[in-house]
Structure formats: C-alpha cells, structure tokens
Structure 1
Amino acid sequence: NGGPPGDFGEVELYCSTQPDNGTPDYALDGALATLTLAANQDVLCDWYFISEDGSGQTPTPTPTATPEPERAEILVTLYACPPAASQSGTYGGASLETFENECSEKVDDVTFRLGDPNSAPISAKTGVSGDGAVRFFDLLPGDLTMNPSLPSDLTSAAVFCTINDGSVYQKALSNGGTTFVNVNGESIACSWFAVEDREEPAPGPTGSITIREYLCEDDRSEITDWDAECAPGSTGTSYTIANTTGGSPIDGTPGDDGVYVFAGLANGFYTLEQGTGNWCRAVADRVDSESRVIVEGGGNTDVVLYQCNAVEGLPDTGTGPGGTIASDGSPLTGSRLLAVALALIALPLGWSGWLQMRKRQVVSPGQPAEPKGEARIGANGRVQMRFR
C-alpha cells in the first residue's frame, strides 16, 4: 500500500502466477492492490512506485543525447590571372588545366565572407592559412554562400573544388560569389581564379595637318582665279612640320594627287617648311599671327599650297596635269615658312608679291573643278595650256 512515507507518486503493479507465468485475478485502486488466490496458488508481483518532485510534477525522463553533427570545413586559395590572349581578355570556357598553367600568382589580404541566409557571415583574409589561402572550419550543416571582396582590378572568373579529396568539379559563379549546397561535415578545397583587367593603352593624339598642293601654269601676278587656273598635283617636293613646344620635325611628301596627311599630332602650333622651291600662295584653316599652323581639339587643319610656274608640257586634253610633275626650277631659293594673315590683311613677300591667307572650302582632290583653258605653243615648240 503506497510508497515511502511522506512521498508522493504513482503506483504500478505487475503480477504473474508461478511457475506457469499466468495472469492472476488482481486489481489496483490507487495505491491499494487486491488479489484473489486459488488454493495452493503462488503469485509473484512487482510493485513500482514512481515518485513526484517537490512541485508535485512527475519528473521528465532525461532524453537520449543526440549525437553532435560533424563539422565541415572549406579551404579556398585565390589566384590572379593575367588577361587572356583572346580579344575580350577573358577565359570563357577554359579548363582547370588552362587556369593552372596561366595563373600562378597567389593573392593575400583579400577578404572572403561565408554565411547562410539565417545568420551573419564570418570573414577572413587570404594568407592566414598559407599563401593566398583562407580556411573556414567547424561549419554547421546548411547552404553556405561565399563572396570575396576583390580589388578593383580583379574579376572572378572560375572556381574549381574537391570534396573529401574526390574528383574536381567546377562551381557556378553568381554576382562574383558561389554557394555550397547541403554542406554536412565535408572537407572542401577550392581554387578561386580571378582575372586582372586588361590595361588599354592611353589614346594618342588625333590631330592632323593635311597638305594639298595645287599646280599653276602661270606666274602669280598673272593668275586671277586660283580655283580655275590651278589643279591638284604634286611637285615632288617634301614638307617639314615641327611643333613649337619641342619634339623632332616630321617630313612628308605628297603623292601624285598632291595630298599628304601629317597624322597623330598633338594640339599646338606648327611651323611648315617646303623642302625645295617656294609656294606662291597659301591658304590654311587655322594659323596664328606668327605664320604657325594651329592644330586644336584633336581635329584636322587643311593647308593649301599653290605652286606657280609649275605646269609645263600639259596634255592637249586640257584636263590638268597627269602623273608627277616636277617643279619648273623657280629661281627663288631657300625654304619659306607659311605666312598667315586674316582675310583683310596682306603680308609682303620678298620674292613674288603678296601671300594672301583666307578661309576657303577645299575642293576634294578626287573632284577638281573643271578648268577652262586654251592651247598655245611656246618658244620651245611645246604645247602648253593656259588656265582661265
């Protein structure tokens, strides 16, 4: 009847007949048991008392300890790759072998962050676990996302990993990072490859000076319409320009069409000299008061040079010079700088009158104005054309 004095609890009773292990007729009412025994019947009973704690509550049985899950680790090593030889400079679709051959430089002091969506990420810098390496360990199961804070000149290109020293596989990259799914006690090792930005050469100067030679049959004093009486062509002489701020002079000789372009010029002021002979008139887009050609805004400046007394023995078609036409050997000597004047200013020239500068629209060498001319026979018996 009941349990220990002063204790509270619950009674359980289990009885069996002996030796056949049958079930006798018995009843339990609270802590009072009643058995009905037959003659010479032996009964064995087990009486259990389950005590309550001081609050009157039955103690909760101690649960079976759940085994601690195995902790995972991820080791990542960061490599810097030079720009690829492709036009884009990237390694699209390259194999691990290609990356290993091209990317040998390990990068320290780059922060990697690792975390899951439900917790704050942990972070560490490469180099703390070996050259270019960082190791995250004691990782609980879950999906873990890794993101590096790369320098501005590096871009993530590929990540190759192994699990428990197994086969190599390539991880997918998203927004510069990657996610490890269902991590649970594995040992993961990864090689992270980042490509250096290609250094594009700084753009060079884009300015230019275009020389356009026009050949005129007559002397300067006889010409009244320069466009009609002169035609594109070449005397075969060279021209030299020089930037007034320094640098080496540049030479160039127009082709048969009388055109030569000095390209790749920096903005500035340039002197212009003719190698042999002298022009009799010059027109330029932009010049200053010191007869210097101006290049500005990275654009082009046209300089049209008229060569007088330069046409002899023209074909009788009257269509202008054909082929290379040499200078007529003007008695003027020395090279003369391009003289400049505003539209209403004329500067004296010591050898042939006045050099007049004016803004003009240059006729394309490929489409010269159709000259008007008349044939005449000179003292030497040659057929010549006089342009009007």
Structure 2
Amino acid sequence: MSAEPVSLELPMQREPAAAASLRARVAKQILRLVTRQVPVDLVLPDGGLLNQRGGSRTEGRPGIVLRRPESLYRRLAENPKIGLGEAYTAGDWHAAEDTDLADALAPYAERLSGLMPSWMLRLSRLVDLPIPADQRGAVEHTQENISAHYDLGNDMFAAFLDPSLSYSSALFDRSRPVADQDLEEAQLRKVNAALDLAGVGAGDDVLEIGTGWGTLAIEAARRGARVTTITLSVEQAALARERIEDAGYTDRVEVVVQDYRHVAGTFDAVVSIEMIEAVGERYWPDYFAALSRLVRPGGAVALQAILMPHQRYLTTRNSYGWIQKHIFPGGLIPSTTAISEQAGQVGLSVTRTDRFGADYAETLRRWRSAFLAAWPAIRSEEFDEEFRRTWEFYLAYCEAGFRAGAIDVAQIRLEAEDRDHS
C-alpha cells in the first residue's frame, strides 16, 4: 500500500537504557538465528539481508522489509508474541512489494514448532504476559469483550463480508475448483452442513448460540424449524432482526441479547458457530454444562470450532498474545482433545468431526482482499491507518496459520445421552 505507515508508540517496561539495549541486541540475534531456517528474505534499510551475510534477495522468495529494524528488535525483546504484530501496525516492517503478506508469514507458521530450540522456548516464557482479569470470561466482562470486536459496526463488516454476512469459515465444494466458487455459496454450504450435522428439520426447536447476523437462523427457519438465537452484540442483534424480517421468518425466529448461561428450556438441536473460542477456558465447564442442559435427550449439538494441536494448546493456554490484546479479548482456541474432555464431563460425546482448515485460509484471503479494496469507504476518524494495518495483519496472520496447518477448523457433532433433564 502507498499510505505512509503510522507511528505507534507502545509502553515499554521501565528499565535501565543499557539493559533495554542489551535485550534488543539479543532479540536481533535470535531473529537472525530463527530466520535463517525460513525461506523468507529479511531486507534491511541499506538493502542487505538480516538472515544472510552479504548477498541479495533470492528470486522467487517472499521478502520482508525491515523499515525500522531497531524499533522491531525492541518490541520483540519486550514480548515476541505481541511485538511482531504491533511492529507491523506501527510500520516497523512490511511485506516486500512483490510479496503478499500471508506469503511472508506462512513459512514461519509452517515451521512453528521447530524454529526455536527448547532452551530458547523456556526463556521466552519469562516474558509471557498473564491474561488480564477482564479477559477470563466472567459474565460481567463477556459483553465488553464481545462488543470490543463485533460492535465495531455492521457497516464495517458488511464492507468486506459476502452478502450472507457470515463471519466464520466458508465450506467450499471440493469437487470443483475453489477459484470458480462464490463465497456466499460456500458460506451457505457451511451453514447447511452445520444444520445437517445437528439433524435440524421441520418442526424442530433449535437454539443457536452466537447469532452473527442471522444467516443460520434464517436457513434453519427455511427448513421449517423454530429458532431461538442468542447474542451479546447489540448491533448484530438489531441487523439480524431486520434480515430475518426481510426474509419473512419473524414468526419462526426470536433473537435474544442474552448470555448462554442464562438460557432456559430445552431444544432438539443446539448449533454454535465459532463461539467456543470466545468463551474463555475458565468457563468451558459452564459452556458445556449449558449445552448438555439445553439439548433434549436424543438431540445433538453442532459446534464449528477453530482448533489447535493439543500440545500447543497446553503450552499457550495461559499466555497472552497479540490476537487477544488487539482482536479477540478473552479468546482461546481449543483442541479436539479439550473439547472431547469437556463434553465427556457433562454426558456429551463427540461422534463426528469434519475438518476444513484449507477452506478457512481461502475465506480469510478473500476477506483481506475485500477489506483492502473497500478501505477507502471504511476509513474514518474511528477507523484510521493504525486500524487498517492491524486488521490487515490479523487477516493475513490467521490465513498463514490455516495454510500451514498450525490451526484448523472443524464442525463437531456432540450427541446427548438418553438421560432425564428434569
């Protein structure tokens, strides 16, 4: 992009200048060591390469330009999990002119587990920040955490989402070239796959946890189901009601601004699309207990969840990273093992898991392209250049993770045992 990067001054830990300088030099050497294992050229302001002595860029390799390398080193020294993204937002580095940002990040994601030796990983935990108390999922903070992201404004999301306003992974038809497929079509395929997984049909009572902008509720009503859909986003609820009314299903769908912990009654099916990531690990027992309590005997729950490998989940569950700080306060990605264990404790069992992580990478690629194309219309006093760079990094960072298989997404069926809910 041609826009001049903004300057973002971040609070640094108070320490003697000599100590801060030493930490920055150590971060530089670690970055040089790490990047020598990755086929991405890191270009210094003088044109040289950080990860090679002498030489020049290799033709065909992705490139990253270090515009203000010393500032980048200082941020990485302060906290590597947060500093890299904040350095991008500040304009300390950017993808080379011939390199897509996700292409620059993907090689690092592909080598995530082997980039740093174990002794270095142990040292890195010394700079891990604890998760702030207001991001641990308590009822009194959940509304604030959800609003911080989803109440950015319906118009902002509509500028880059497809007409279904689906803000979760699409599901593409693997029998056809992905490039030939419309995103809205793929999003409706995802929605109907989730409804199929939960066995939703005419006459069923359905609970949706996490309304979004109403597309799943509309599709369930189209099947003849009666739907209660809950959300904590006031802005999403308002537009969802409008869309449901326009579709002619107000007699079948009720939109309620409510925490899942406060829902009463029972349902033939419960569906929740990428909601578990926002719950907070501390409250997963409450979440799964609610699922168990709300689904009728013989019913089913369909979850769509972003996933990470279980070992990585165990090592990162208590750390605070860039995504939690800047995008999803209170968020934590589970593993399939964690989901299975939590479900089992409340009498639910995982009976089917359908993975489609590559589809999320493609979904994110399209969102980022649409976001950047729509930026002139999105830009305002509220959505400034810092916001643009933050969201550009967020979408590319996640795309790289899914492309590399560092994270995944799946639709998971949980079946309720035949038990008495009374």
Which is richer in strand? 1
Task: Judge same fold: TM > 0.5, yes or no.
Answer: no
Q: What is the TM-score when the length of structure 2 is the normalising length?
A: 0.16
Which is richer in helix? 2
Q: Whose Rg is larger?
A: 1
Of structures 1 and 2, the one scoring higher in RCO (CA 8 A, sep 6+) is 2
Q: What is the TM-score when the length of structure 1 is the normalising length?
A: 0.17
